[in-house]
Amino acid sequence: MKAIAAYLLPQDIVLGLDAVDREQLFALIGRHMGVYHGLDEHFVAHCLARREQAGSTALGLGVAIPHARIDGLERVRVLYARLRAPIPFAAPDNLPVSHVLALLVPHPATDEHLRLLADAAQMFADRRFREQLSAAADLREVTRLFAG
């Protein structure tokens, strides 16, 4: 099982998310984390935006992995969102992003943070994985892809 699959809960898979830009995306991620995990939605959005100021978390190929260290977080939280329409994300290849894997890790971050980022980058580098993820019709299929 991939490391990300251990943290990706069914309620943290969102297919067809409507966001027009990074700011709105981070606000929606924050809202989701507030509703499902009791986190402060504004603080989550702020931490994601602050990390993004240091450099884009877009990998290219239509993928971004926004991530942040969150004070007081007890465990890693992961959210996968497939956007309804791609958004600009300052990617190295200038392609807009349609796949978003948000990682929230306890502060101070551990080696697990780096392992999750590496795992995600490796998965999304696989064209077949991205194509299957784009075509996935439901949460069960997305979960299976991340576990595979």
Domain ranges, ordered by start, for the chain: 3-147
Active site residue 67: yes
CA-CA distance, 7 to 76, in Å (whole number)?
7
Q: What is the pTM of this model?
A: 0.94
Mean pLDDT of the chain: 93
Cα–Cα distance list, 14 to 80, 133, 146 (Å): 6, 12, 14
The pLDDT of residue 108: 74
> Which one of 32, 67, 99, 113 is the catalytic residue?
67
Query: Over 50: is that where the pLDDT of 1 sits?
Result: no
The pLDDT of residue 23: 96
The pLDDT of residue 38: 95
Q: Which of 90, 87, 92 is nearest to 25 (CA)?
A: 87
CA-CA distance, 143 to 145, in Å (whole number)?
5
CATH label, 3-147, candidates 3.40.50.2300, 3.40.50.1820, 3.40.930.10, 3.20.20.140: 3.40.930.10
